[in-house]
Amino acid sequence: MKKIARYLLILVLLVAGLLAPAASAGAAESIRVVSATARSEFPARITFDLTAEAEAGEIVAAQLLYGATRQKVLTAVDVPLTPGRRIETRHVLDTEVYYYPPGTALSYRWVLRDASGAEVTTPPAEVIHHDARFSWAERTERNVTVFWYQGGAASGEVLINAATAGLDRIAAAIGADLEQPVRVYVYASNADLRGALQANSVDWVGGQAFTDLGIIVGAIAPGDVAEAGRLIPHELAHQVLAQLTDNPYGGPPPWFDEGLAMHAEAQRDDWIDERLEEAARQGRLIPLEALAASFPADTDQALLSYAQSQSIVEYLIATYGADKVRALALAFAAATPVDQALQTVLGRSVDELDAEWRATLPPQERTVVPTPVPQSAPADRFAEPPVGVPGIGVGSPGGSGFAGVPGWPLVAGALLCGAVLLLAGTGALLLAWRAAATKGR
Ligand SMILES: [Zn+2]
């Protein structure tokens, strides 16, 4: 999830408004702010309280401006008050409706007007929407802060090591590091995590990245080194790439974004190569051009999309090097169409790159035509399992796509990041995740 939309309040203003010089002439003396505070009670609400006095006349209007500090927009709310020399008013922001993830820093200021029309604007202040239901420990390295509350210092060591190792792999792949801080909130269970996500989130979501806020939330059981090494680097890669390519007009195609994120993970899952080679032999690989749009909703095709994305990005890194991969990312950020970006940076069209990469995989096998089956089977036909029957192994592999894949909960987990939320409606994935969740993840 990359953008958090907030529609219902009245106005959206540029954050420059926050930085505007306070007060119009004369008003600074006419209105005095006694107190302006904000109190966060995650996940329910943030309460903004204001007390102000007018030297002469009455205060007749109060407007609250607030917004996530990292986002470039503010929301304005006209807060009701009873006009008078001294006013006390309050705005309660229901953060279960207007969701902000844990750790979001919000900036706010008030604009007050008296009966003469003079206005005063309070200096900007900040409130952190901290999840105070847990007592968090934290560690910071290289612009990443991990927060956790179970497992003591050993847990923190696992988490921060996963983060820095991930950043190393990302830097080696694309020559970029975090330019802005990222906060990673690690809940100890899916149940705890669910209480921190938006109320209408599907209940199998194992983690979420908010690249525009620099926040990652996820569930990792204390001491689960493998999951820490998967989830944290994957989501950090999305953050590094989002910061590198921050531009309202463009961005990298999903195959590039997800491929880099998969590459950043500590361990390469076996299912990636198995799935790729099988698809190559069966002539089922998805054209690279198609992976520049949203990934398919079908579970099997979605997994293949991730596998191909990782493989192509790793091919780019190995063949062309981190400088070219970084140049590609910057071309995508400048809204250069994918084909043109590849042509400019690599001298290849999408189809040429696709063909080059496919040549690293097994060739497509010729379809075997099954031997005609006799009309009446011999008496011993089913005495033994058939061996070497032509045609078996060709065509659809069947099954759910997860069956027979070692470590398939990891497969489901690998999909649980921003881009794949598009797949929320996919029944198979939902069932797969539920099954994984009941296995103790
Ligand atoms: Zn991802």
* Residue 133: closest CA among 196, 89, 73: 196
Going from the Cα of 167 to the center of ligand 1, the distance in angstroms, rounded, reads 15
Same domain flag for 327 and 270: yes
Evaluate if residue 82 carries a pLDDT over 80: yes
Going from the Cα of 259 to the center of ligand 1, the distance in angstroms, rounded, reads 8
Going from the Cα of 157 to the center of ligand 1, the distance in angstroms, rounded, reads 24
Going from the Cα of 1 to the center of ligand 1, the distance in angstroms, rounded, reads 10
**Does 382 reside within a domain?**
no
Question: For 108-131, what is the mean pLDDT?
Answer: 94
The CATH number of the domain where 108 resides is what?
Answer: 2.60.40.10
Determine the Cα–Cα distance for residues 147 and 156; give it in Å rounded to an integer: 8
Same domain flag for 320 and 428: yes
C-alpha dist (Å) from residue 54 to 28, 116, 273: 10, 11, 71
Going from the Cα of 217 to the center of ligand 1, the distance in angstroms, rounded, reads 13
Going from the Cα of 299 to the center of ligand 1, the distance in angstroms, rounded, reads 15
Same domain flag for 412 and 317: yes
Which residues, at least 6 apart from 269, have a Cβ–Cβ distance to it below 8 Å? 407, 410, 411, 414
Same domain flag for 312 and 221: yes
Going from the Cα of 384 to the center of ligand 1, the distance in angstroms, rounded, reads 46
Read off the pLDDT of residues 345-381 as tens digits, 9 standing for 90 and up.
999 999 999 999 999 999 998 765 556 554 544 444 3
pLDDT for 206 equals 67
Lowest mean pLDDT of 39-48, 135-144, 204-213, 368-377, name the range: 368-377
**Does 196 reside within a domain?**
yes
At position 56, the amino acid (one-letter code) is A
Going from the Cα of 420 to the center of ligand 1, the distance in angstroms, rounded, reads 7
Determine the Cα–Cα distance for residues 97 and 115; give it in Å rounded to an integer: 34
CB distance 1 to 198 below 8 Å? no
Going from the Cα of 423 to the center of ligand 1, the distance in angstroms, rounded, reads 12
Going from the Cα of 263 to the center of ligand 1, the distance in angstroms, rounded, reads 10
Domain that holds residue 94: 11-129
Going from the Cα of 295 to the center of ligand 1, the distance in angstroms, rounded, reads 11
Evaluate if residue 195 carries a pLDDT over 60: yes
Q: Assess whether the previous peptide bond of 43 is cis (omega < 30° from 0).
A: yes
Going from the Cα of 213 to the center of ligand 1, the distance in angstroms, rounded, reads 16
Q: Which residue among 82, 101, 129 closes a domain?
A: 129
Same domain flag for 95 and 173: no
**Does 378 reside within a domain?**
no
pLDDT for 298 equals 87
The CATH number of the domain where 283 resides is what?
Answer: 1.10.390
Structurally, how many domains does the chain consist of? 2
Question: For 193-212, what is the mean pLDDT?
Answer: 78
Read off the pLDDT of residues 288-330 as tens digits, 9 standing for 90 and up.
999 998 888 888 999 999 999 999 999 999 999 999 999 999 9
Determine the Cα–Cα distance for residues 2 and 213; give it in Å rounded to an integer: 9
Going from the Cα of 237 to the center of ligand 1, the distance in angstroms, rounded, reads 8
Give first-to-last CA distance, the chain, whole Å. Answer: 22
% of the chain beyond a pLDDT of 70 = 75
Going from the Cα of 39 to the center of ligand 1, the distance in angstroms, rounded, reads 33
Tokens of 133: 């239901």
Same domain flag for 152 and 176: yes
Determine the Cα–Cα distance for residues 233 and 57; give it in Å rounded to an integer: 58
Same domain flag for 199 and 76: no
Q: Which residue among 112, 129, 146 closes a domain?
A: 129
Question: For 232-253, what is the mean pLDDT?
Answer: 90
Single pTM value for the model: 0.76
Give the pairing of strands 119-121 and 104-114. Answer: antiparallel
Same domain flag for 103 and 187: no
Cα Rg of the chain (Å, integer):
27
Same domain flag for 23 and 170: no
CB distance 33 to 110 below 8 Å? yes
Evaluate if residue 216 carries a pLDDT over 50: yes
Going from the Cα of 255 to the center of ligand 1, the distance in angstroms, rounded, reads 10
Same domain flag for 213 and 115: no
Tokens of 16: 């420059």
**Does 1 reside within a domain?**
no
Going from the Cα of 236 to the center of ligand 1, the distance in angstroms, rounded, reads 9
Query: 10 Å Cβ neighbour count for 322?
Result: 16
Give the H/E segment covering residue 429: helix 427-438
Going from the Cα of 215 to the center of ligand 1, the distance in angstroms, rounded, reads 14
